[in-house]
Amino acid sequence: MVKKIGILALQGNFQKHKLILDQLGVESTYVRYSSSLDDVNGLIIPGGESTTMTKLLDRSGLFESIVSFADKNPILGTCAGLIMMANNAMDDRVNTFKLLDIDIERNASGRQIDSLVESLTVSYDNIQKRIDATFIRAPKIIRHGKNVNVIAYYKGTPCAVKSGKHVGLSFHPELNGVSLFHEIAFNNIINNKEGLHAA
């Protein structure tokens, strides 16, 4: 069986993530039901609106399934996806997966009109790389635990973090065609594409 990445497709800009995975030569599929998680080896939680996402996850029965899935499989969350992965979203309307030991301030960067593209330095695994990142009503990481590895900062504040197998970003790399974080999160899947077919 070919290894596949799922993209949560309840809401938000999930199509752009598929384009990134296509560029990397990785199989992907949209996830809208719990049963879809049986066929994937990693999951992307895209941007969107975290309160709406919470309602849709509860309604679809996906919430508990994703928590279980995350025990064994990597998850990449961008913007609202980062909020959903946090320990605490500081908002009672948002029910989070508690996958990253971080506290989040939602919409910290203002309104949609305040969106911006910034150049960031990503430091990971002895590699430093400059990338462009689009911030749209971006959440702000206001606390992170000692087991959370910060791999990029924006104005002195963490904006890209990794903990265990999971990666969370306060920006949208997919809008700038940046595949680096997909490669970091799903490294084992991408680098083991050959010979993945079951006998």
CB-based contacts of 52, cutoff 8 Å, min separation 6: 11
Catalytic one of 17, 144, 166, 172: 172
Catalytic one of 79, 144, 159, 182: 79
Q: What Rg do the C-alpha atoms of the chain give, in angstroms?
A: 16
Residue type, 59: R
159 belongs to the catalytic site: no
Residue with tokens 């990666």: 167
172 belongs to the catalytic site: yes
Closest by CA to 91, choosing from 137, 57, 136, 139, is 139
C-alpha 55/C-alpha 35 separation (Å) is: 19
Catalytic one of 49, 144, 166, 174: 174
Phi, psi (degrees; rounded to nearest 5) at 113: -65, -20
CB-based contacts of 39, cutoff 8 Å, min separation 6: 4, 6, 29
166 belongs to the catalytic site: no
Catalytic residue annotation: 79, 172, 174
